[in-house]
């Protein structure tokens, strides 16, 4: 599932990305995916929220959000 997010008045949720939008991907195993992305040299942000959200910066500096839904969803 792909979701496009737009800015909000509550700070800059896309920082440190350089775009005014963020792509969100629903993933099956966030921890494993982040590990693979790191091993391939991707710019994975250290911050993980709620154990279900992680972020990576693409080569153009855009922030990409990865979300692992709770079991059963």
Per-residue pLDDT of 29-46, as tens digits, reads: 999 999 999 999 999 998
Regarding predicted confidence, which is higher, 50 or 3? 50
CA distance 60 to 51: 26
Q: What is the largest CA-CA distance in the chain?
A: 35
3-state secondary structure of 31: helix
Q: What burial class does residue 28 get, using C-beta atoms within 10 Å of its C-beta: 0-12 exposed, 13-18 middle, 19+ buried?
A: exposed
Categorize the per-residue pLDDT at 54 as very low, low, confident or very high, splitting at 50, 70 and 90: very high
pLDDT at 17: 80
């Amino acid at each position: 599932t792909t979701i496009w997010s737009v800015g909000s008045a509550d700070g800059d949720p896309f920082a440190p990305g350089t775009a005014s939008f963020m792509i969100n991907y629903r993933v099956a195993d966030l921890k494993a995916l982040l590990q693979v992305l790191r091993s391939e040299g991707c710019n994975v942000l250290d911050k993980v929220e709620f154990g279900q959200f992680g972020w990576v910066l693409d080569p153009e500096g855009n922030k990409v959000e990865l979300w692992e839904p709770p079991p059963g969803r």
